[in-house]
Every structure is written in structure tokens, then in C-alpha cells.
């Protein structure tokens, strides 16, 4: 975090600059270090050190915080071959792909529908964001009640189709559908906000010109919106993916991982391993494997972030 960076390339204009790593520290530079020190310290203590300690713990057999035996990489191989983890990996993949496709589609549809800043649109956008601003736990709890057989809503809605006895959360496929619904319900408006920002940066003349040339709405979307929104779409995709791969609240509250572990995602499996079974050695190994995967996504996010800044937005 504190390695030497190229300051002059990004500095605001009109400031005195010195070059070369061996220059004496100016008083202002000392002051700057003092100003950023609390931030750096807090991030090191609460993010970096835990991760390092996690790596250390992941090499041992741990019984309730007691490091009882050195295991080397055995925790990692155990995790990668455990049937529970592999089934969680499958559940996470199904959930992530389903949630990603639907959230992005609904988010894009919302953004296109609510693009103009009319009074109505601004209000509807705010309402659409409500599931996103309330606690994830509360949202999933309310959906669990809505989907439960006791509520009678599903019976009343599906009764006319002869499915009055359907129990959504007790059927593996339907429960996965409910989990994906939870993600779409909560995060579509988040996708909408990110996509709206990109949509607004497309010059309206392009659409006007295309219309004069006789391009229909679908053609305009495919040939103008999508190509020019490549970076915002990718950013939204990566940000949602980071979220969906890791999220545990949806599964913990809505389905409890059931029925029969069909909706137990990696986040939930990790939570149970660590805080229900207290197998902290294996749990740390799993956490670090997932974190490694996250690092790839974060790196992609950083590259996109840089590109967007490069494009001047």
C-alpha cells in the first residue's frame, strides 16, 4: 500500500513537483503521510493481517482456536475434494449464472424504460431501489414469508392452475428459483443505476441519426447502445458477479441451504464450516480459495475502472 507510485502523472496541475525517489521529504509530504496513516493502519489491521493470519491457520488442524496439528496443504486438498464443497460449487455456479443473466436483463430493461429524468421516472427509480437499501436479511426474511406455504399466497396464486399444494421452498429446483428471484428482486435496481450512468453518456444525436436512417428500436439498441455501453455493462457484470459468488445471506435466510443442500452456496458452506462446526483450519482454507477467485474479479474490476477513467468519465 505504501510502495512508490508515480505521483506526477495524476497530480492536479499547477503544483510544485519533484522527481526521483531519493529527494528529501518535503514537510508537506510528511504531513500527507500523517493524514493517510489512520486509513492505512485500519485497513492493514482489519483486512491485511486477518488474511495473513487466515493463511497461517489454513495450514493447521484447528480445534476451537487451538492449533493442534500442522497439516500443510491438506486443508486445501480436503476442501477441493469434499462432496459438500463440490455440491456448493455447483449450487453457486447455477445461482450466479441465473442471477447474473436475469439481474442484468431486468436492470437494463429498467434503465432503458426509466432513462428520461421525468418526475415520474425519478420516483419509480427510487421505489425500485427500496429492496436494495433495506437490510439484505430483512428482504430475504420477507421473501421467505411470502413464499412459505403458511402465507397462503402461493396457494391462492397457483391454485387455479392446479398447483395449490406447491411448496416452493421444499422443492430443490423451485427453491433455487426463489433464491435467484431474491437476487433479482434486490439487485436489479443497483444494476439499473450503474447502467443508467453509462446510458446517459451516449450522445443523443447518435440515436436521432440512426432513426433518420430508419433503424428500429431493436436495431438502435444492438448497434448503438450495446457497443457504446461495453464498459459500463462489463463493470456492472463484474460487480454483480463478485456479489453473487460470495453472498451468504440470501441462502442462509431464505432457504437455509435446503432442501437437502440444493441451495447451499459456497458462502453458506463457508459460514457453516467456520461458525457452526468451528473447523477454522478448513474454513480459512476455503475462505482463501474463494478470496483468490475474488482477486481475479477484483483485478478485472480495476482494469475496467482504469479504462473508464481513461475514457474521461
Partner 1 sequence: MSGAPSWRARRRTRLVTGAVVNTAIILFALFPILWGLSTSFKPADEILRFPPELIPSNPTLENYALLFRTGIERFVLNSTIVSVAAVVGSLAIGSLAAYAMARLAFRGRTTLMFAVVALMSIPLPSLLVPTFTFLANLGLINSRTGLALLYTAYQLPIVVWILYGYFLSLPIELENAARIDGYSRLETLWKIVLPLSGPGLVASGLFVLTFAWNDFVVAVVMISSEDYKTLPVAIYGYLGFYGREWGPLTASAILSIIPVIAVFVVFQRFFLGGMTSGGVKS
Q: State which of positions 9-38 bind partner 1 (CB under 8 A).
A: 9-12, 15-17, 21, 26, 28-29, 31-33, 35-36, 38
Read off the C-alpha cell for 126.
427510487
Segment contacting partner 1 (CB under 8 A): 70-78, 122-130, 208-216, 221-229? 122-130
C-alpha span between 80 and 33 (Å, rounded): 43
Among 292, 240, 265, smallest CA distance to 101 is for 240
Burial of 52 (0-12, 13-18, 19+ CB in 10 A): exposed
Segment contacting partner 1 (CB under 8 A): 77-85, 165-173, 183-191, 202-210? 183-191
Shortest approach of partner 1 to residue 43 CB, angstroms?
6
Q: Is residue 92 a contact point for partner 1 (CB under 8 A)?
A: no
**Closer residue to partner 1, CB minimum distance, 27 or 72:** 27
Among 237, 233, 236, 243, smallest CA distance to 92 is for 243
Q: Is residue 117 a contact point for partner 1 (CB under 8 A)?
A: no
Shortest approach of partner 1 to residue 130 CB, angstroms?
6
Instruction: Mark out the alpha helices in the chain (DSSP H runs).
Output: 27-43, 49-57, 74-81, 83-113, 119-133, 136-147, 153-158, 172-200, 204-212, 217-220, 226-228, 230-246, 249, 266-275, 280-310
Residue in the block written with cell 447518435: 206
Segment contacting partner 1 (CB under 8 A): 74-82, 170-178, 218-226, 297-305? 297-305
Task: Map the footprint of partner 1 across residues 195-224, applying CB under 8 A.
Answer: 196-197
Task: Map the footprint of partner 1 across residues 126-145, applying CB under 8 A.
Answer: 126-131, 133-139, 141-143, 145
**Closer residue to partner 1, CB minimum distance, 188 or 225:** 188
Amino acid at each position: 500500500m505504501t510502495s512508490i507510485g508515480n505521483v506526477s502523472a495524476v497530480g492536479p496541475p499547477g503544483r510544485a513537483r519533484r522527481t526521483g525517489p531519493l529527494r528529501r521529504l518535503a514537510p508537506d509530504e510528511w504531513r500527507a503521510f500523517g493524514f493517510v496513516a489512520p486509513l492505512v493502519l485500519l485497513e492493514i489491521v482489519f483486512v491485511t493481517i486477518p488474511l495473513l493470519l487466515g493463511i497461517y491457520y489454513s495450514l493447521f488442524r484447528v480445534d476451537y482456536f487451538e492449533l493442534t496439528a500442522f497439516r500443510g496443504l491438506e486443508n486445501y486438498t480436503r476442501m477441493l475434494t469434499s462432496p459438500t464443497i463440490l455440491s456448493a460449487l455447483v449450487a453457486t455456479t447455477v445461482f450466479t449464472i441465473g442471477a447474473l443473466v436475469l439481474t442484468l436483463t431486468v436492470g437494463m430493461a429498467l434503465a432503458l424504460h426509466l432513462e428520461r429524468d421525468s418526475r415520474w421516472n425519478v420516483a419509480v427509480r427510487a421505489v425500485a431501489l427500496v429492496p436494495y437499501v433495506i437490510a439484505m436479511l430483512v428482504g430475504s426474511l420477507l421473501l421467505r414469508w411470502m413464499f412459505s406455504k403458511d402465507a397462503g399466497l402461493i396457494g391462492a396464486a397457483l391454485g387455479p392452475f392446479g398447483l395449490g399444494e406447491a411448496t416452493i421452498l421444499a422443492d430443490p429446483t423451485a427453491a433455487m428459483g426463489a433464491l435467484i428471484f431474491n437476487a433479482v428482486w434486490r439487485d436489479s435496481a443497483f444494476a439499473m443505476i450503474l447502467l443508467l450512468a453509462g446510458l446517459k453518456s451516449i450522445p443523443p444525436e447518435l440515436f436521432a441519426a440512426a432513426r433518420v436512417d430508419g433503424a428500429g428500436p431493436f436495431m438502435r439498441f444492438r448497434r448503438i447502445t450495446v457497443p457504446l455501453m461495453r464498459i459500463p455493462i462489463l463493470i456492472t457484470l463484474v460487480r454483480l458477479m463478485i456479489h453473487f459468488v460470495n453472498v451468504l445471506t440470501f441462502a442462509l435466510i431464505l432457504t437455509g441451504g435446503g432442501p437437502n443442500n440444493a441451495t447451499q452456496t459456497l458462502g453458506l458452506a463457508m459460514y457453516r464450516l467456520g461458525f457452526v462446526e468451528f473447523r477454522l483450519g478448513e474454513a480459512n482454507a476455503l475462505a482463501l480459495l474463494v478470496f483468490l477467485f475474488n482477486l481475479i474479479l477484483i483485478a478485472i474490476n480495476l482494469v475496467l475502472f482504469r479504462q473508464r477513467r481513461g475514457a474521461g468519465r
